[in-house]
Amino acid sequence: MAFDIEMIKGVYKTMGERIDKARSLTGKPLTLAEKILYSHLDEGMPTQVFKRGKSYVDFKPDRIACQDATAQMALLQFMQAGKPKVAVPTTVHCDHLIQAKQGAKKDLIRANKTSHEVFDFLESVSNKYGIGFWKPGAGIIHQVVLENYAFPGGMMIGTDSHTVNAGGLGMVAIGVGGADAVDVMAGMPWELKFPKLIGVKLTGKLNGWTASKDVILKVAGILTVKGGTGAIVEYFGEGAKNLSCTGKGTICNMGAEIGATTSTFGYDDSMERFLRATDRNDIADEANKIREHLTGDAEVYAAPEKYFDQVIEIDLNTLRPHLNGPFTPDLATPVGELGEKARKNGWPIKVDWGLIGSCTNSSYEDLTRAASIAQQAIDKKLKPKSDFGINPGSEQIRFTAERDGLLSVFENLGATIFTNACGPCIGQWDRSDAQGDKKNTIVHSFNRNFSKRADGNPNTHAFVGSPEMVAAIAISGKLDFDPMNDTLLNEDGQEVKLDEPRGIELPPEGFAVDDNGFLAPDADGSGVEIKVSPESERLELLTPFKPWDGKNITGAKLLIKAFGKCTTDHISMAGPWLRYRGHLDNISNNTLIGAVNAYNKQTNMVKNQLTGEYGAVPDTARAYKKSGIQSIVVGDHNYGEGSSREHAAMQPRHLGVIAVLVKSFARIHETNLKKQGMLGLTFANEADYDKIKENDTFDFIDLVDFAPEKPLAILVKHADGSEDTIIANHTYNESQIQWFREGSALNLIKKENVK
C-alpha cells in the first residue's frame, strides 16, 4: 500500500478539535488554508493568532517527497544529521535525470547507464534510512504523488517547487529546499512565515477549447510572477467544483509561477472520484466523515473580501484559451490575439515543436483531450507541420493510455513518446533539430518557459498552453493559429476546421499497471552500505560550512551585480548540469553563469578586482576565495524566482559568497540562503541598487549586533575613494540568526543531535 491510512486517520482525528480552537482564537470563520495550517502546528508552538506575512510558525508536515536532482544534496545533508531513519514518511522519485532524445525505451536505457551511480546512491541511501524509492521511468514526482500519496487536508513538503501540484487533492503542499526537508526528516519542526491568503472565486463551467490550464494562465497574467509571493492561493466557488481533480492539480502546479507558497482547493466530488479511481477508497471514506473540515467555512466563501487579503473572480463560462510567453510564464495572451503581438515583437510565427506532458499536464484526462485533436488530424487528413513530443506523467498513466489506444493516436501522427519523466520541461532534451543561433518557436504544456529552459538555446521562444491547444497549434505549425475560428488546408486541398476537444476525466476501465516502479525500504536498513567514491564526478560527501567568526565582515568584493530577471535557472542551470547535482564543487562551476552583468550586459563575464581582468563568474569567485576574500552578489526584484533548488544558495556559499543584496526575493530562495548560513538582504531604499559600482568593496558596520527586525548598515567603498552607507533590511528571526552564526542550519542540527 503506497499510503499510510493510519497516519491519515490520525490527522483527521485531531483536525476538528484544532479547527474549533483556531476559530475560537481568531474569532472568525476559517479558510481551508487556515484550517490545514492550524491543524498542523508543531506541538511546541504557542497557541496564538498568527499575523499573515509576519509571524514565523513551526509546523509538522505529514510527509516529504524528493525528486532525484534535489534528493542527492538533501540526502547527503541528512547523512550528516546523525539520525538512523527518517522521522516522517519520505519518498524519492527519479524523474529529472532522463534525457529525452530517441524515445522512452532507448532514453531510459541510456539514462540508467549514464546516471547509474546516482540512481544506485539514491536507492541505497533510501533503503538505509527508511525512504520509499521510485525507480527511473516510474513517473514524474508530482503526478506520482497525486496518484499515491496526496490526501485532502494534509500537509506535505517537497524538494521541488512544483510540490504544490498536490493542492489539486486538497493538500497544503509546499516546495522547499533540501535543508528544510532535512529538518523534517530529522524529526524537527518546519518553519514558515504564516502566509497571506489570496482567494480566487471561480464561477461557471469550462467549455469548448478552454481548459483548466487557462485558469492559471489567466491568474498568472493578473498576479505576475511575483504577485503570489508569501501567499496561499485558495480556489473556491461552483466553478471550482466543476473542475476535475487533475485539472485542479494543473492549476495548483503553476501556482509556483506566480511565486505562491502553495495553492489549494476544497475537498469535493471530483477528488473523491479520483481517490477511488486510484485505489484509495479508505482515504475517500475517511475524508467523507469530516467533509466540512476539508473546505473553507461557508461564511468565508459568501463574503470572501472579508477573509482574504486579495480576491480575484474568474467566470469560466467566458474564459478564453491562452498562450503565455515567451521567456516568462506571466505574459498572458488570449489565443487569437497572439499573431498580432508576435509580429509586432518579432517572435517567429512558425512553430517547430509541440510538447505535451510534464508534471503540469500529463494526466489521463490531459492525454485524452490532446488525443482527440490528434485523431481529428488523422481523420481530416491534416499532416502536422510541427514535431510532436509526449511525456506521460507516470507508468500507470502510460500503461493505461497505451491500453486504451491513446498513445497509438499520437504515434500515428508521428509523435515521439518520451519516458515518464520531466524531459524537455527541465532542459533534459537533446533536441533533434538543434537551432543554433536561429530564432525559433515552440509550444508546450509545461509550466516554465524561461530563456534556455527547454533546450539551452536563448533564441527559442517558448509558449505555454493546454495540451489540446498545443496539439492544435503544432498541427497547424503556426503560432497565430486560432482553432476556434481558423481553418486548415488538408492533403486533399480542402479547408477543414478542428472540432472542440473532448476528454475523459478517468479511464472507463480503471487504471492499470504491471510494475509501477516502487521499491519499499527494508524494515531495518542499519546494515545497508552507502558508497561514494572519492574519485566520483557525480557525488561528493559534504564538508560543513565554517561558522561565522563573530566579527564584522570587511573587505568583501562585488562578485556580480545582476541585471533584470535572475531566476534559479540563471544562478544554477539545469539541463546538462543536472549530472553534477550531487557534487557541490563540480556543479559550482555553473554558478551565476546565466545572470546578466549590469555593467556590460553580458553573461558569465565579470571583473576580477584582484587582476582587473574579466572572466567567468565561478572563476572570479574562486579567485577571491583563494585569496581569503568573501564576496557579495547584488540583484534586482524577485531574485531566485523559479525552482526550489538549494544549489542556487549552496553554490555561491561554497564559492565564498557571504551575502546576497537585492530589491526583493522569491520565497524559497530567501529561505535557502538562510539555511546555508548566508545573509539574504534587501535594499531599504531600492534606488541604492544604482549606487553599487563595479569595483566596490563592502564593510558590514554592525553585523556584530545582528538581531531580528534590526536593519544592517553596509559601508560601500568605491574605487574613486568615495563611500555610501546602505541600509539593508532582513527577515531573520533569532533561530535563523543562529543558523548564520553556526555556518548553516545543518551545522546546528548536527550540534544539537550530538548533545
Q: Is the peptide bond before 501 cis (omega within 30 degrees of 0)?
A: no
Contacts of 738 (CB under 8 A, 6+ apart): 748
What letter does residue 297 receive in the DSSP assignment? -
Q: Is 282 a catalytic residue?
A: no
Chain-centre distance for alpha carbon 75: 19
Which strand ranges, in their side-by-side order, compose the sheet holding 416-417? 332-334, 322-324, 460-464, 440-444, 351-357, 387-391, 416-417
Are residues 293 and 192 in contact, defined by beta-carbon separation less than 8 angstroms? no
The active-site residue, picked from 160, 297, 352, 696, is 160
Grid cell 495572451 in the structure block, residue: 333
Produce one character per residue of 123-150: b if its CB has 16 or more CB atoms within 10 Å, e if not.
bbbbbbbbbbbbbbbbbbbbbbbbbbbb
Q: Is 160 a catalytic residue?
A: yes
The active-site residue, picked from 62, 95, 180, 387, is 95
CA distance 155 to 232: 13
Q: How far is CA 605 from CA 153, 197, 559, 601, 726, in A?
A: 48, 41, 10, 9, 26
Are residues 112 and 136 in contact, defined by beta-carbon separation less than 8 angstroms? yes
Helix (H) or strand (E) holding 172: strand 172-175
The active-site residue, picked from 263, 358, 643, 644, is 643
Q: How far is CA 699 from CA 15, 450, 599, 703, in A?
A: 50, 35, 22, 10
- Which one, of 445, 468, 582, lies nearest residue 75 by Cα? 582
- Which one, of 271, 221, 217, lies nearest residue 242 by Cα? 271
Contacts of 598 (CB under 8 A, 6+ apart): 561, 562, 563, 634
CA distance 78 to 86: 9
CA distance 386 to 21: 57
Grid cell 505576475 in the structure block, residue: 224
Contacts of 721 (CB under 8 A, 6+ apart): none
The active-site residue, picked from 431, 579, 622, 645, is 645
Are residues 565 and 328 in contact, defined by beta-carbon separation less than 8 angstroms? yes
State in Å, rounded, how far the first CA of the chain is from the last one: 37
Q: Taking the CB of residue 276, how many other CB atoms lie within 10 A of it?
A: 15
Q: Is 96 a catalytic residue?
A: yes
The active-site residue, picked from 18, 93, 96, 581, is 96
- Which one, of 529, 572, 421, 537, lies nearest residue 114 by Cα? 537
The active-site residue, picked from 18, 293, 448, 581, is 448
CA distance 707 to 89: 35
CA distance 112 to 125: 17
Q: Is 643 a catalytic residue?
A: yes
Grid cell 497565430 in the structure block, residue: 480
Instruction: Return the sign of the alpha-carbon dihedral for residues 29, 31, 35, 37.
Output: negative
CA distance 746 to 755: 15
What letter does residue 232 receive in the DSSP assignment? E
Q: Taking the CB of residue 242, how many other CB atoms lie within 10 A of it?
A: 16
- Which one, of 615, 613, 607, 617, lies nearest residue 566 by Cα? 617
Q: What is the CA radius of gyration of the chain?
A: 25
Residues acting as catalytic residues: 95-96, 160, 448, 643, 645
